[in-house]
Structure 1
Amino acid sequence: MTTVFPTLLHRFLHWEAAQAEVIALTEPRPDGRVVDYSWREIGDQARRMAAHLESLGLPPRSNIAILGRNSAHWIMADLAIWMAGHVSVPLYPTISAASARHILEHSEARLLFVGKLDGKADNWNQIRTALPQELPLIALPLSPLPQAQQWEALTAATVPLQQPHLPDAGEMATILYTSGTTGVPKGVMHSFGNMARYAQGSGDFCGFTPADRLLSYLPLAHAAERSFVEANLLAHGLRVYFNDALETFVADLQRARPTVFISMPRLWTNFYAGVCAKLPATAQALLGADSPEGAALRQNVLAMLGLPDVRIAFTGSAPLPPEIVDWYRKLGLELLDVYGMTEDFCWSHYSRPGAVRLGYCGEALPGVQARIAANGEIEVKTVTRMLGYYKDPALTASALTDDGYFRTGDRGEYDEANRLKITGRVKELFKTSKGKYVAPAPIENRFAHPMVEAVCVTGAGHPQPFVLLMPSLAARQQMGDPAARDALVATWEALLGEVNATLEPHEALSHVVVVKEPWTIDNGFLTPTMKIRRSIIEERYLGKAAAWAAPGSKVVLETD
């Protein structure tokens, strides 16, 4: 069993003393350098910044914001905020300017740490215009603000704080503003105890030791990365490697050689497609062979991906096609589907090794009670449940049942082994012109295919629903060749037929629209955690729906 500890800060102080010279963070820089930080160095810099924060005379428990892509100093800033007795408020680097201003004003942030940003892989060029003029700024290394106070100068001129604030488990540690698919971001308050309980449970599930390695590349401002990477780093004394940029992802992954790895279906699919494009059919057949040659090939493929040392691999947010899941199983990776939310700090349901069922996200974790309400909504009561929504007791009350269960907004069902299947969102039902209700998510999940990256089933007010389809990267690369394009159209038409064969008549999709513009975080079609923003997508495309339906084609290629 994992060591019990009151907070992640207490645990950090343990590792700072117990393995002071051990490398904890490895960060590749844009100039090609790779910088290592030991536990002692992290503690020294965090303590110096905490002392500077104390010198500012801020009210106790002030909210201090962090904006930047993942970096070693993002975590150091978080530690400094906690050591000085304050609350951290992270912002997504891809957030809109309006949302950034809302969060900074709503949280009454007293100071903003500005970290790694370049205006290319993030939304810094717009965010910078929305920063309140009176808000003090401190620039972390790799920040685009040379005119602001600099982390290096402040820490160099400040004596380390010897007696950092040691919080109680019940104290608020952070406010996580949900990315949301609609509406204004909500501030989810989490205590130090919640974060510690997650890390202890995660340690038990994964068997973490200081020898483990993780790669940090999903947004640290999101509960998934904050829990999986930061909480496990501080709790278990392991080592974290950072990804510098999309272009360096493979190299950064190969450097890290993680022992536990989490990703979204999109990346697992891209890995699969990339390897398949390089391996001839004979080699593909050899992958599953019980022979020395098959074993060697499997290890070579895993090494090519940077995953030869992975002992636990997680996936989440949407199902993967069965053939891709089987392909990874041949390699020796059993992908474990997981389910969690910002409000429970990602501690809800995990698939267990050897008990994975495709399309299901596993059983309730220790300390989690779950049930299905009369309307099909999943309700959970967890040991990591949020303190509430910041400044919104009414919303907090409406999110909880009278007996303390959180209303997730997701619809679901359990199988005979108590494994949970997500069947959609409670509020995503829409009505066709025939007066029939359609739940889009279960239909969207049936479109899992290597040539499909994302889909959105829509059609409110139309005779039949239809599906907007964003091709995978591999498919987009083939669209310029007429013969390959025709083959893809045939593939998507066949997929449409397969999906429709599983649906009720009122759910049957009239056609597929293959969208021209990729859906990304930057253009607003995806949330920072790569979920579709249904309302934004529908606003963009529904005006064309009648024209697309008129010809009666099963597959429509968007041309403008």
Structure 2
Amino acid sequence: MSINSKPHPDSRPFIDYFYKWEHEKADQVYLRQPLGDTYIDYTWQEVGRQARSMAAYLRSLNLPRQSPIGLVSKNCPHWLIADIAILISGHISVPFYPTLTADQLHSVLEHSQCTVLFVGKVDNWSSMQTGVPTNVLCIAFPENQPDAKLRPWDDILTTYTPMIDSPKPKLDDLFTIVYTSGTTGTPKGVMLDYRAAAQVAEWARAKTFQDLVGARFFSYLPLCHVAERNIVEAIGLITGGTIYFVESLATFSKNLAAARPTHFLAVPRIWTKFQQGILANMPQARLDRLLRIPIVSSLVKRKIRQRLGLNDTVMILTGAAPTPIPLIRWFRRLGICIQENYGMTENLGAVSMMPADQIKDGTVGRVNDGMNVRIDPDTGEILTQAAWNMRGYYRDPELTAKTLTADNWLHTGDLGELDSEGYLRITGRLNDLYKSAKGEFISPAKLEFGFSENQLVDQICVLGPQLPQPIALLVLSEIGQKTHPGEVATSLTDTLTAFNNQLQAYERIKKVILVKDTWSVDNNLMTPTLKIKRKEIEKRYLSTINAWYDQDDVVVWEA
């Protein structure tokens, strides 16, 4: 089945909006960086001054037009100022994850052919910089420690006069090359042009964001990821809103509560953490009792939203990975309506969105205007076609041809179903499917959702290609870690039994393994956008999987 949507007319490059607000809101705050209990504020005029001086410097390098320029940093005001400078100077922005190793950074710099690299907030630059090719000029954000190998940002600003002209790129020019997070292998450089970015941003503005006076955004997910780039940078520019940044992981909750964003995006793991934090202060039984009392219920909901910093939100989105239905419904009871959004870097993350007034749980929303979707009848794979599909993979025509058909249908690699109302359901990943010993295909994602209502579970990964039946590796939540082991075993056994009764015999999970270490970006078991790396997890526990499987207990604890 296929859903065909009306295309959106061509729009203008969103850098035009920066020029607009730079003139009309010159003295108003655009970017806010927390520093303890205070803020460093950057007005539209100040951002323009710095970006235009940096653009003048980039122009002085006499690089060919549309040269790739790299950017590696955690989120901060200078990330966006550097990005704007790259665009103003007529070049292509190529952002990288700040968690890359030296070898990984070397690989993407070589592949992208960047000869200039902006270096910002990173945890271990002394280690990372060994991966920078000798021909790459590095520019340091002001947040960096002095380094003789990096040209200081402030030195450039004092040397170069801001560009006065406001060049406008062509819609067919490349806007950015976005390297994927490498969940399933080597990162790929996705080429996106100004036309694609403009159409998605204008669609979002017209259909979902509108022009909101006092729009505020909270930037903490990697800005090199397409979702943060869309929601925070592009929509922030279009609406003329204020962008607040997170200072550190330790101050996340404090910074979010202070920002009180009107638009907020979070990945499933963040929503799980929010839930665990709420339940740590108010156990589920007590929360249920209070929510049954009309007046008290309203007070409790408002208090929770205020503590989270979501009391002023008009749109709350989740994406990057499937969010369990029970988790979405749990927040809905608190008056927090989370809207699913589905897409990938290759289609600018804009395939479907859940309408706030027409929610259909179990789906990732309705297909967006301008987006065509069909399901491959043989494989069940989702294919998308839109004016904002990628141009292709940078310097990889062979992979481009495998992913993007001649008539612009993009193979997403996701499995799904499409209903008659245009709502899309995700059922798994094509690459995650494996054939059991009985010759039946198994989707790990489907099985992982079976534990989504158990609040003792923080993370889960179902494995089993080499086993007679699947097994589930679990990481306990903070609540689970504080629960008696006997109660944990009973709870997980009950969940497993109830869920297995709904499955085919070959799908049933044999046992649950409780592993010691949390999966994180630091130990390379999660991507920077907090999705599990299934292959890395399987590799880590491969030597002990068979021994766990052979134990008699249904719930096994890692020794």
Q: When the two structures are superposed, what TM-score results if normalisation uses the length of structure 1? A: 0.94
**Alignment-derived partner of residue 99 in structure 1:** 104
The question of whether the paired residues in 2 share the 8 Å contact of 1:47 and 1:164 is answered with no
Give the aligned residue type for 1:149: R
- Listed one character per residue, the Cα deviations across residues 152-183 of structure 1 (whole Å, up to 9, x for unaligned) are 12112211001143101110011000112122
Q: Which residue number in structure 2 is paired with residue 139 of structure 1?
A: 140
The residue number in structure 2 matching 1:404 is: 408
Aligned to 2:249: 246
- SS of 1:506's partner is helix
Contact 1:319 1:445 in 2 (8 A): no
**1:387 CA displacement:** 0.9
Equivalent residue in structure 1 for 2:177, among 172, 175, 178: 175
User: Residues of 2 paired with 1:494 and 1:322: CA distance?
Assistant: 19
| Paired position in structure 2 for 1:155 | 157
For the pair 1:287 / 2:296, whether they are aligned, the reply is no
2:450 aligns with one of 421, 426, 446: 446
8 Å CA contact retained: 1:175, 1:190: yes
CA contact (8 A) 1:4 1:200 kept: no
2:421, 2:243 → 1: CA distance? 35
1:145/1:175 CA distance change after superposition, 3 Å? farther
Contact 2:14 2:198 in 1 (8 A): yes
Q: 1:189 aligns with which of 188, 191, 196?
A: 191
2:58 to 27, 35, 53: 53
Paired letter, 2:450: R
Sort the Cα spacing of 1:226 and 1:288 in 2 relative to 1 into closer, same or farther, 3 A: farther
Q: Aligned equivalents of 2:294 and 2:165: distance in 1?
A: 58
Residue type of the alignment partner of 2:118: F
**Paired position in structure 2 for 1:307:** 310
Q: Does 1:274 align with 2:280?
A: no
The residue type paired with residue 22 of structure 1 is Q
* Residues 276 and 477 in structure 2, CA contact (< 8 A), matched pair in contact too: no
Equivalences for residues 316-355 of structure 1 within 5 A: 316-355=319-358
Among the aligned pairs, what percent are the same residue? 37
Q: Residues 431, 542 of structure 1: CA spacing in aligned structure 2 closer, same or farther, 3 A cutoff? A: farther
- In 2, the alpha carbon distance for the partners of 1:300 and 1:4 equals 44
Is the 2:216–2:259 contact (alpha carbons within 8 Å) kept by the matching residues of 1?
yes
How much is the aligned-residue C-alpha RMSD, in angstroms?
1.9
Deviation digits for residues 190-233 of structure 1 (CA, Å, limit 9, x no counterpart): 11111111111111222242411110000001111111110111
CA distance in 1, matches of 2:498, 2:119: 49
1:22 aligns with 2:28: yes
Q: Which amino acid aligns with 2:428?
A: G
What letter matches 1:558 in structure 2? E
Structure 1 partner of 2:116: 111
1:497 aligns with 2:497: yes
CA change 1:507–1:362 in 2 (3 A) is same
1:201 counterpart residue number: 203
Q: CA distance change for structure 1 residues 493 and 439 in 2, over 3 Å: closer, same or farther? A: same
Secondary structure at the counterpart of residue 446 of structure 2? helix
- Counterpart in 2 of 1:545? 545
Contact 1:438 1:507 in 2 (8 A): yes
Counterpart in the other structure of 1:465: 470
Deviations 1:400-455 (A, max 9, x none): 23432100000001234321111111122212333332121211222213322222
Structure 1's 61 and 491: CA in aligned 2 closer, same or farther, altered over 3 A? Answer: same
Instruction: Determine whether 1:434 maps to 2:435.
Output: no
CA distance in structure 2 between the partners assigned to 1:427 and 1:269 by the alignment: 25
Distance 1:67 1:305, change over 3 A: same
Q: For residues 493 and 144 of structure 1, what CA distance do their matches in structure 2 show?
A: 52
Q: Which position in structure 1 is the counterpart of 2:83?
A: 78
Q: Distance in 2 between matches of 1:429 and 1:438?
A: 6
Number of matched residues? 547
Contact 1:117 1:144 (C-alpha < 8 Å) held by counterparts: no
CA apart distance, 1:503: 1.2
Secondary structure of 1:106's match? helix
1:466-481 matches, cutoff 5 A: 466-476=471-481, 478=482
What amino acid maps onto 1:435 in structure 2?
G
Report the residue type matching 2:382 in the other structure.
I
- What residue in structure 2 maps to residue 486 of structure 1? 486
Q: CA deviation at 1:133?
A: 2.7
Q: Which letter maps to 1:201?
A: W
* CA deviation vs aligned residue, 1:333-376 (integer Å, no higher than 9, x gap): 21111101001111111010122222210111010000100210
Contact 1:175/1:390 (8 A) holds in 2: yes
5+ residue gaps in structure 2? 1-7
Question: 1: distance between equivalents of 2:321 and 2:458?
Answer: 11
The one-letter code matched in structure 2 to 1:137 is: C
Shift of 1:97: 2.5
Name whichever of 260-269 and 138-147 sits farther off: 138-147
1:499: Cα distance to partner? 2.1
Counterpart residue number, 2:67:
62
- Normalising by structure 2, report the TM-score: 0.94
3-state secondary structure, aligned to 1:218 = coil
Cα deviation, 1:102-146, whole Å, max 9, x if unaligned, reads 110001101110011233xxxx45422211233111001212453
